[in-house]
Amino acid sequence: MNKTIIASLLMGLLMVPVTTVTAAESTLSGAMSQTGLAATANSLDQFSHWLPQVMQRFNSLPEVQAQAARRQQALLSVEAADKAVYNPELGLGYQNASEDTYSLDISQTIDWGDKRGVATRIAQLESEILLSSITLERNQMLAERLQALTNQSQARKALEFQRQQFNLAKGQLDIARQRTEVGDLSSVELQLMQLDVASNAADYALAEQVSIAADGQVLALFGEFDLPFADFVNALTVQAAHLDISPELPALKSAYQQVLVAKVTAEQAKADGSADPSISLSAEREGDENKFGVGVSIPLQIRNNYSEAIAVASQGVAIAEQTYLAQERVLLQQQKQFSLSLPRLTQRYQDWSELVLTSGTQAARSLSQQWQAGDINTSDYLQSQRQMSGSYLAGLALESALYERWLSWMGTSGQLEGYLNSQLSTQGANAAAPERAH
């Protein structure tokens, strides 16, 4: 390259606006600053600035309000079951004869088989089953909505990155035209730069479509799409992978209580088949004579002793136990999958962050300067740009995978809401500590 061409190129670069020249230096670094591990915020502030508002909006949703009504219905069913099984019976009689006869009878069947107690226990267990199901449903609904918010956040990151890439490509195309005019760049290389702009425009359009779809998903789940949200990838934990799978876990509690219901149902079948006696008192006046009587009646279980019903209920216990064991096995498999996948994804994400954040920004700045100075050809420069763009989008994909795995497990196991509430409680306690110190 002779001195005349060099001088002309430098003059052309000096005429380019400063924002265009520095775009290559800031695009990748600006995009990387949006990732979770690149954030400099304190981990204690992962949730406090957005989660309370999101939870308030979540609790006001009609489907969540319906769960509150179902909870109240379950409590009322227990009260209804804890009532007497038999009401007393009152009888009045009159007989017209030579001497008129008047009679008054009152009888009461005794709950000898404790039908009331069994019905109350069943209602309590069914109420607990319903409450456990509501808790699990609530966790799954919350996980679904947080997943929608994370998808929206990731889509907006990708959209902003593609916008920056598109603007950068247009700025570099302007520089390429100036270099072509001074003879420092061939027309073929200029066409390559034009194709790169077109490719970035297509990627930008596709990212816009994904972002619109993500906004629509949030709108469908929350009734609005512009909700506060901040990345919390730093707060994702694998501690849940070491959780003991017990009947008290929300994902299993309902199935375990079904076993208890089946056992009590077997007791209920025996209670229903028990012979409940009835005691009656009668008073009768025939003419001038008063008569009093006491009676006891006992059902005779001759035609039906309810043994088949008791056998059916006993089989229900075996079915409920096997159903519980099946659900426990599925949950254990999901837990193992979570414990295997999340640490590996986290390690790959950290590796990506260290490599891209430490060297990617410097490489982008250096390549842009070298291409503008003519030290590298256009094909190598464009290939390097595509590689760095792919590296950033790969990081976004890893981040999305981390969120998806974590939210899926926490929602499926029923631990999500408890974890979030504990995080908010911890942050509240830490925030109150400095105030007490003053």
Q: Each residue of 247-303: pLDDT tens digit?
A: 888 888 888 888 888 888 887 777 766 667 778 877 777 777 777 778 777 777 666
Which among 124, 82, 126, 113 is positioned nearest to 270, based on CA atoms? 113
Tell me how far apart the alpha carbons of residues 67 and 56 are, in angstroms, rounded to a whole number: 15
| pLDDT computed for residue 157 by the predictor | 94
Distances (CA, A) of 131 to 109, 127, 157, 346, 411: 34, 6, 39, 35, 16
pLDDT digits (tens, 9 = 90+) for 107-139: 887 777 777 777 788 888 888 888 888 899 999
| pLDDT computed for residue 353 by the predictor | 83
| pLDDT computed for residue 361 by the predictor | 65
- Name the residue with tokens 């009331």: 116
Q: Global pTM?
A: 0.77
What percent of the chain stands above pLDDT 70? Answer: 81
Most confident of 15-29, 170-184, 243-257, 278-292: 170-184
Tell me how far apart the alpha carbons of residues 268 and 64 are, in angstroms, rounded to a whole number: 34
CB 5 within 8 A of CB 183: yes
pLDDT digits (tens, 9 = 90+) for 409-424: 999 999 999 888 888 8
| pLDDT computed for residue 18 by the predictor | 35
Task: Tell me what the mean pLDDT of segment 158-162 comes to.
Answer: 94
3-state SS of 6-18 is HHHHHHHHHCCCH
CA atoms lying within 13 Å on the CB side of residue 221: 23
267 vs 228, higher pLDDT: 228
Residue 95 phi/psi, 5-degree rounding, is -130, 125
Query: Is the per-residue pLDDT at 36 higher than 50?
Result: no
- Name the residue with tokens 């030290």: 375
Which among 86, 91, 220, 201 is positioned nearest to 145, based on CA atoms? 220
pLDDT digits (tens, 9 = 90+) for 339-387: 889 999 999 998 888 887 666 667 777 888 888 888 888 888 898 888 8
3-state SS of 380-420 is HHHHHHHHHHHHHHHHHHHHHHHHHHHHHHHHHHCCHHHHH
Query: Is the per-residue pLDDT at 232 higher than 60?
Result: yes
Per-residue confidence band for 428, with pLDDT thresholds at 50, 70 and 90: low
| pLDDT computed for residue 200 by the predictor | 94
4 vs 330, higher pLDDT: 330
The 289-297 sheet, strands edge to edge: 89-95, 101-109, 278-286, 289-297
What percent of the chain stands above pLDDT 90? Answer: 29
